[in-house]
Amino acid sequence: MAVREVLPTTLTDIIQETPRVCTFRLALPEQSPFSFRAGQFVMASIPGFLNTKGRPVRRAYSVASSPRDLEKGFLELTITRVGDGGFFSNRIHECRPGDTINIDGPYGSFILRPSDEPPPERYLFVASGSGIAPLRGMIRTILMEDRKVPVSLYYGYRSPSDFIFEKELTDYALVRSGFELVTALSRSEKAMPEESPVPNFRKGLSGRITRLLPELVREADGADIYICGPPEMVGQSETFFREAGYPEERVHKEQW
Ligand SMILES: Cc1cc2nc3c(=O)[nH]c(=O)nc-3n(C[C@H](O)[C@H](O)[C@H](O)COP(=O)(O)OP(=O)(O)OC[C@H]3O[C@@H](n4cnc5c(N)ncnc54)[C@H](O)[C@@H]3O)c2cc1C
């Protein structure tokens, strides 16, 4: 059941993913009716953090965990501290375990295909920066539900220290059969790809992930495609997949 009223959660853990990005683990109240579908977002607010009109400052954040994680009583938001002027993102990075974070939702139609529908031939995820957040929730869901469908993740970020969820995603590529991971560095023009122990994991290619799509994706192959990142990256990816012959209804996108 969706909760439209504001739900108080307790911040239990803060995981430093990169110098500018943290994952905030939020514990739900016991017997909370909150539910969501992988890929959706919530509106977050902080008690007492008000705008000039005296109303709560609210921002949208994709749920980066899986609906399956709700069974353990938590959800996660992965938030970039945007720096100068980042009103809410700076404030939440000052929160500490034990603090209350309010959420309402879920919202949005960027949703992983449910497991009771016929599966696609492949899941193909394309992300840059914090756009990895909802895709990580989807990927966790596919793996936790043991869906027997190959997964490809093409992920772009600026420089080596900006790889969000590095350990978790690397572990998937090394351990899970049928999981392909390719990462690209947009700010390291002379980056040398790192040696990889497995052929399905290529790390640190040079250039924007959108520029690499033509060499990574050769033909329309029945994949469900999920793209998330800044508008320019999402637009370029969408154009690429349309021109590569993927039907529009298979290409899903979220941008911010
Ligand atoms: C559906 C949806 C899902 C989202 N999911 C996430 C998520 O999972 N993780 C996440 O970190 N954000 C996410 N966002 C963005 C988030 O809602 C906020 O916009 C963001 O945190 C900035 O809010 P702020 O109050 O800190 O900045 P504001 O005070 O609103 O903006 C301050 C300045 O920062 C600039 N700015 C805003 N965002 C960025 C950015 N990402 N990089 C650089 N400059 C920026 C603005 O242009 C502005 O000049 C999502 C947005 C939407 C619409």
Q: Is residue 82 within 6 Å of ligand 1 at its C-beta?
A: yes
Give the mutation target among 61, 78, 101, 232 for probing the ligand 1 site: most ligand atoms within 8 A of CB.
61
**What is the pTM for the complete model shown?**
0.94
Express each pLDDT in 59-95 by its tens digit: 999 999 999 999 999 999 999 999 888 999 999 999 9
Same domain, yes or no, for 126 and 103?
no
| Nearest-5° Cα angle at 65, 213 to 173 | 45
In this structure, what token pair is assigned to residue 49? Answer: 């953090």
Atom of ligand 1 nearest to the CA of 108: 1
Same domain, yes or no, for 162 and 242?
yes
Same domain, yes or no, for 221 and 128?
yes
Does 112 reside within a domain?
A: no
d(CA 167, CA 123): 21
Same domain, yes or no, for 67 and 133?
no
CA torsion, ordered 127, 131, 132, 135, to nearest 10 deg: -90
d(CA 247, CA 105): 30
pLDDT of 84? 84
The CATH code of the domain that includes 236 is 3.40.50.80
Residue 189: pLDDT band with limits 50, 70, 90: low
Ligand 1 centroid to Cα of residue 78, in Å, is 11
DSSP-based three-state secondary structure for 186: coil
Q: Is residue 62 within 6 Å of ligand 1 at its C-beta?
A: yes
Range of the domain at 86: 3-107
Domain count, the chain: 2
pLDDT of 150? 95
d(CA 85, CA 88): 9
Does 249 reside within a domain?
A: yes
> b or e along 22-32 (b: 16 or more beta carbons within 10 Å of the residue's beta carbon)?
bbbbbbbeeee
Last residue of a domain, one of 81, 107, 133: 107
Express each pLDDT in 126-146 by its tens digit: 999 999 999 999 999 999 999
- pLDDT > 80? residue 195: no
Residue nearest to atom 31 of ligand 1 (CA): 86
Same domain, yes or no, for 24 and 146?
no
Residue nearest to atom 36 of ligand 1 (CA): 82
